């Protein structure tokens, strides 16, 4: 796994965790921001032919 792949995967893991927290806290603004961040990271991964793991369910 290359550095870009690791970085994107870590950022996705962090964004999904933050999204779950935002939902639990009822913070719709932060949830919207995290959804946009996730979409952008997934787009970057696709543009670089990087396979990403599905979000972890903690």
Q: Give the model confidence (pLDDT) of 21-44 as tens digits.
A: 999 999 999 999 999 999 999 999
Q: Is 47 left (phi over 0), alpha (psi -120 to 50) or beta?
A: alpha
pTM of the model: 0.87
Output phi, psi for 26, to 5 deg: 75, 20
Residue 1 banded pLDDT, cuts 50, 70, 90: low
d(CA 39, CA 18): 14
Mean pLDDT value across the chain: 92
pLDDT of 58 over the 60 cut: no
Segment 6-32 mean pLDDT? 97
Q: How many residues does the chain have?
A: 58
Sign of CA dihedral 17, 14, 38, 6: negative
């Amino acid at each position: 796994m290359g550095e870009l792949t690791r970085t994107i995967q870590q950022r996705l893991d962090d964004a999904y965790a933050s999204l779950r927290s935002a939902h639990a806290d009822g913070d719709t603004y932060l949830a919207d921001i995290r959804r946009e961040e996730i979409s952008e990271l997934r787009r970057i991964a696709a543009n670089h032919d990087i396979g990403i793991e599905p979000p972890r369910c903690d």
